[in-house]
Amino acid sequence: NKKQRARAIKAAAMEQRHVARSAMRLWRDGAAESLRLRTARRAAEQLENVQATLTRQHLAQVAQLQHENEALRKSLAQQEAMRETMQEHMKQAFMRGVCALNIEAMAVMKHPDQVTSEIETEALAPQPMPAPPKP
């Protein structure tokens, strides 16, 4: 009987250790799963925060580049208008020069008496002043 009792005590102790180990294993697995879920949730939140930050930065950069683009377009249009105005003034100046050169050439080919009267008349006539270029 003593042997059976010792075996029964030993078996009960083994059963108790087995139950304790099983309970500990279940607790450990549950705790590990809970930790994995919390870690995954925290990582997802951080990812969303980083994504939101990057989206805001990207939108701000797009707005800044659009503003710079618009400013450059306005500057280009203004420079184009200035260039066209300057070309028009140069064209008018060259035309006046060509007209004056033609008058001088005709004056040289005419009779000397007619030349002096035309030159005097031309010298007394008012000359149009070119308009200054607008900045």
> Mean pLDDT in the chain?
89
| Per-residue model confidence (pLDDT) at position 1 | 87
* Alpha carbons within 13 A on the beta-carbon side of 115: 9
Instruction: Flag whether 15 is in a domain.
Output: yes
CB-CB contact of 89 with 131 (8 Å): yes
Instruction: Flag whether 133 is in a domain.
Output: no
d(CA 101, CA 30): 104
Instruction: Flag whether 19 is in a domain.
Output: yes
Whether the predicted pLDDT of 113 surpasses 70? no
| Per-residue model confidence (pLDDT) at position 116 | 57
Q: Would you state the structure tokens that stand for residue 52, as one six-digit string?
A: 């939101």
d(CA 50, CA 64): 21
Angle at 88 between CA 104 and CA 78, to 5 degrees: 160
**Could you tell me the pTM of the whole model?**
0.49
Question: pLDDT: is 53 or 125 the higher one?
Answer: 53
Instruction: Flag whether 129 is in a domain.
Output: no
pLDDT band at 120 (very low <50, low <70, confident <90, very high): low
Question: pLDDT: is 34 or 96 the higher one?
Answer: 34
* Alpha carbons within 13 A on the beta-carbon side of 67: 6
d(CA 91, CA 83): 12
Instruction: Flag whether 66 is in a domain.
Output: yes
Whether the predicted pLDDT of 130 surpasses 80? no
Question: What's the farthest any 2 CA atoms get from each other in the chain?
Answer: 164
pLDDT band at 105 (very low <50, low <70, confident <90, very high): confident
Instruction: Flag whether 135 is in a domain.
Output: no
Instruction: Flag whether 132 is in a domain.
Output: no
**Structural domain for 12, as ranges:** 2-124
Instruction: Flag whether 130 is in a domain.
Output: no
Domain tally, the chain: 1
